[in-house]
Structure 1
Amino acid sequence: MDQIDQLIATRRQMDDEHGGGALVDALHADLQYIASILKHGSYREQVGRRLYAAAAEAARLAGWAAFDSGRHAAAQQYYLVALRSVAAIGDRPMGVNIIGFMGIQAYSTGRLQDATQLMDVATAEASKQTPPIVQSMAWARAGRAYAKVGDSRTAKAALNKAGHFLNKAKDGDSPAWAYWVDETRIAAQVGRALFDLGDDTAAERELLAAVEACGDHYPRDRATWLGRVATAQLRQGHLDDGCMSGRQAVDLLADHVDSARGVGFLRIFQQELAAHGSSATAQEFLEYAGIRLGAE
């Protein structure tokens, strides 16, 4: 059982560092292996609970990896498998996390009402005796969803609650899968919400701070954040800065990360950059991105 838990932890790290594109098949195989043990193995109740938890996390990771690589139907199916697995053991914090990922997929694919409803469920469930870090995560995601629908007041209130619960978190009371929820990630959530609300100056500030705080870690996240930074800078009239941030995102996506989602944010920047097509700076960037990422 310890080896299975370690495998899942390794898969999480692989996703953080390289994106989900190359991981879906491996995670599907992991999930089948765990499901086979659950179905045919003989084990004590405590081991069974750990197996169901591992199945839920493997399915959640597979859903996230499928989503990250643009395979949305597959992602939905994996998330449903994850929910069924977690329901078998009544793990509320893990259930909150899975519902949150379903909400992320919903607002990323234009199903904004579904997204706010899912995030409302997640925050309601998180309030029922889950660790502060889980409540912080749920409220941050709710803030993102409400920013997507343009509800600035509700979005900012949710993000403030995320910060409040993050400050209440204590070492040792957080689930292993919540390792990534920290001040930097909440700042990035704030930055992305501000971006969706059209506050480009504040979004640039928050997201650049998050990129800097990550150092060399989390290249997929840095790439998606820098794609938004580039667009925010361009919208403020800062063409040179936008192209510089765009180049950083290109390099991460070309050298480290397999993420259709990350490329998608960069494509938005490229589309808006087309209005500056006569600029030598814009032309140089478009040529550079075409060479490094491949022309569409």
Structure 2
Amino acid sequence: MSALDDGLARARAIAEEALPERGERLGPLAAPMGYAIEGGKALRGFLVLEGARLHGLDEGAVRGAVQAAECLHAYSLVHDDLPSMDDDDLRRGRPTLHRQWDEATAILAGDGLQALSFELLAGLDLPPSRVVALIRGFASAVGAEGMVLGQAMDIAAETAEAPLTLEEITDLQAKKTGALIRWSAGAGAVMAGADDGPLDTYGRALGMAFQIADDLLDVTGDAGTVGKATGKDADAGKATFVSLLGLKAAQARASALVEEACDALSPYGPDAETLRDAARFVISRKR
């Protein structure tokens, strides 16, 4: 396995440990919350873990932040899949949570994962000022100025008189998809009390490249490989990077963003090669 494969696998294992550690306290929510976390790429958790490594922090000190990133991401997917949102039946190659259980359980499991993510961050054994800074940035990234706003903008676009422009879709996706990736990339620096500028730049470019790759997979992928329905954006007439730029130009834009992300890591030299591999992975993945 490559260093990237190892890192993703380790982040996934850490994320999946968040719920068993709470045992019976979660009651009937334990199974659906665990189901929501299983099977993901754990990219966001990996970014937290790798950024922390670059700044000399060991795994034990930051595992709560790794888990928080993945719990929050899982919550966002569960709610995004709901009938009142995207109404999807398939996620990560399995029935979406509201299909596996029911809509009420999906809402509550998502709520539980969101709250748990903040609890995990608050429990970090780090200087209080760093924990507060980390939580403040997290709340901004995933709340009504970030991910939640991006989702609201996406829903509003479905009934808008005209499709979104390239500038508008870029702003939307920087919030809906990019904000949590950007926070995850910079979290290690914040926890170390270091300058997060290079990793923030990396995360911003990486988040946008990730979304363009998603738009490309919606056009070129198949549900069996991608693990979720494809072609939905085109069927709904939604503006995407592919519909606005065309296939080849969208691919070129994603590649340019990966190059930008990799260039941002120059202060770290060869120590950041695994993060560079992650950026290349984002646009070469098949799911």
- When normalised by structure 2's length, the TM-score is 0.30
Higher helix share: 1
Higher relative contact order (CA 8 A, sep 6+): 2
Question: TM-score, normalized by length of structure 1?
Answer: 0.29
